[in-house]
Structure 1
Amino acid sequence: MSYLEGLSNFLRNYVDIDYSLWLTWCLTPLLITFLLPAVIALLLYISAFWLYIYKLHWRRIKITLQIGDRWEAARKSVGALWDAHGWIWHSYEVRNLHYIPETGPALIVYYHGAIPIDIYYFIVKVIFTRDRLVHTVADHFLFKIPGFNILAECMKVIPGTVQSCANILKEDNLLAISPGGVYEAQFGHNYNLMWKRRLGFAKVALEAKVPIIPMFTENLREAFRTVSIGRRFFLKLYAMCKFPFAPIYGGFPVKLTTHLGKPIPYDPDLTPEQLQAKVATAIEDLVNEHQRLPGNILYALLDRVPFLRKKQSQRHED
């Protein structure tokens, strides 16, 4: 009896092939669902690895490229990676990009998904179409993650105080803030804004005297979601540690479309509370106009089909 025949007899006698196949069929979607978010982490670390190489060889690259900004070529190189990922995996696009000024400051206020992958894609789009960099505000815990600091240095990501954010805008830069932050990412399951009494962004806009551009990305919660089971438990953990403990799953290749609302001009007569309410209403209007509620992953996948996408747009208009 050959080795292969012996192995075949062993599998036939001691292993239930049908059960194994059934178990594999059942568990594969679950494994894929929870492992796909690792792709985003992998892209972040690939970006960090490339930036480390770029920083190490900066002097040689500077002689070759003869540019003033040490990070400019790196941003566009890394941006090409993210732009390709957004186009292939999510057919990503931005509507009303003309609202982003070619010169001068503006504050972009956006809804925060479970993973804010839309802001990564959006920053790249602005770099390539407007030749401008969008500075962003990130939660403090991200700066404790190995490899994040070099990304922050290159892409101008800051923890952000009212004064530092206002100074960035006063220097005629673009700045993006999500008032809901990690709290909204973890617990805003149905596209509801969870800003509480966070007025920092409104104080920044009033201090810098800049317009605010509301931003929302359609199907963002269908790309990545947080586990809703045990919500109270994770809320308690977040309240104690200010760290996102709720597990994230997804990575579904749904259609992502970022919608920009009409800029809200600077009005010195508005209080921070009134400005916050005005911006919240503008973003909620974008959600109601463009987002299918409640969200549905299957329909979000079908949105990638042009014919079905056109019918969906006509339904919204009706």
Structure 2
Amino acid sequence: MGGTERSAWDPAFTEQVVQRLGPAVRGWFRTEVRGIERIPATGPALLVANHSGGMATPDVLVLAPAFYRHFGYDRPLHTLAHYGVLMGPLSLVMNRLGVIEANPENAVVALDSGALVLVFPGGDYDAYRPTSTANVIDFNGRTGYVRTAVQAGVPLVPIVSIGAQETQWFLSRGHRLAKLLRLTKFRLDIVPISIGWPFGLSVFFPPNVPLPSKIVMEVLDPIDIVADFGDDPDVDEVDAHVRSVMQRSLDRLAVERRFPVLG
């Protein structure tokens, strides 16, 4: 399945989407992407980022235009996404944009082909983190991304973002509510509760429009796992190092911000 999804990537279609949506995203969120040149110029790599903004997460819409402006459209950026994003006719559009289902097999196959792969280890858990912990790197104990990089023999490239968690007020992930509604059997562990515009209180639905918060993303230096941790690295040790590097960067970006939303 991963091979079929990857082969569906359409550079011309991707360029059209980026050219049409890119200016709107930059204008609404006043985006700034730093350090894009730190992504290896050639060869595969696993890009590891924190996830923000809830249902309307703008992470890929912020990063992808900067990536393609720098590297052009001869090199795909594959994003790993929850299977729910790839259900029905929407999957055809997502696959043409380089989105593939998030599982280790797909990631390794894509990396083995020489591609760049973007992963958000924290997934929905991270994207719906409460406003009180907006500037905390938390992958919910998920370390599979490290195993994927080790298996594929590729560097990890950490990426941090700040601002999207200010697009609305996130109150709770709603773990208890998800269990009460027995949604966990559908791989839905959260029913997030937030307050935003124009609907006010939202319990997953209706989705509010993201406030125009300034979003800054920063690409950090690649991490060579074998060089730094040896031929048989401890996965938990690597994960702790990656998160600590990302947390230091996020702390620095947080210090730069003067006001919520305004940046």
Tell me the TM-score range normalised by the shorter chain: 0.7 to 0.9
Name the counterpart of 1:155: 97
Give the structure 2 partner of residue 208 of structure 1: 152
State the 1:232 CA deviation: 3.7
Distance in 2, matches of 1:272 and 1:212, equals: 13
Q: Secondary structure at the match of 2:260?
A: helix
Structure 1 gap segments, 5+ residues each = 1-68, 304-318
| Greater relative CO (CA pairs within 8 A, separation 6+) | 2
Q: Which residue of 2 aligns with 1:83?
A: 22
Residue 187 of structure 2 corresponds to 242
Flag the 1:188–1:263 CA change in 2: closer, same or farther, 3 A: farther
* 1:302 match: 262
TM-score, scaled relative to structure 2: 0.78
Alignment counterpart, residue 193 of structure 1, candidates 134, 137, 140: 137
Choose from 95, 106, 113 the match for 1:171: 113
Give matches, 1:33-72, under 5 Å.
71-72=10-11
Q: State how 1:210-229 maps to structure 2 within 5 Å.
A: 210-228=154-172
What are the superposed Cα offsets for residues 108-162 of structure 1, whole Å, 9 maximum, x if unpaired?
1111112331222211221122123210111122222x44212222122112332
Is this contact kept in 2: 1:225–1:249, CA < 8 A?
no
**Higher share of residues assigned strand:** 2
- Secondary structure (helix, strand or coil) at the match of 1:255 reads coil
Is the contact between residue 71 and residue 154 of structure 1 (CA under 8 Å) also seen in structure 2?
yes
Decide whether the 8 Å contact of 1:226 with 1:249 is kept in 2.
Answer: no
Q: In 1, are the aligned partners of 2:11 and 2:76 still within 8 Å (CA)? A: no
State the match for 1:142 in structure 2: 85
1:263 to 222, 235, 241: 222
Corresponding residue number in structure 1 for 2:69: 128
For residues 75 and 261 of structure 1, do their structure 2 counterparts lie closer, same or farther at Cα, with a shift above 3 Å needed? same
State the AA in 2 paired with 1:130.
F
**Shift of residue 107, structure 1, vs aligned partner:** 0.8
| Aligned structure 1 segments of 4 or more residues deviating by more than 6 angstroms | none
The question of 1:233 aligning with 2:177 is answered: yes
What is the aligned-residue identity percentage? 21
Which residue is equivalent to 2:4?
A: none
- Please point out which of 242, 246, 255 is paired with 1:279: 242
Give the TM-score normalised by structure 1. Answer: 0.65
When Rg is computed on C-alpha atoms for both structures, the one with the higher figure is 1
- 1:116 is matched with which residue? 57
How has the CA–CA distance of structure 1 residues 251 and 292 changed in structure 2, closer, same or farther, with 3 Å as cutoff? Answer: farther
**Which residue of structure 1 aligns with residue 5 of structure 2?**
none
- Unmatched 5+ residue regions in structure 2? 1-7, 193-203
RMSD: 2.6
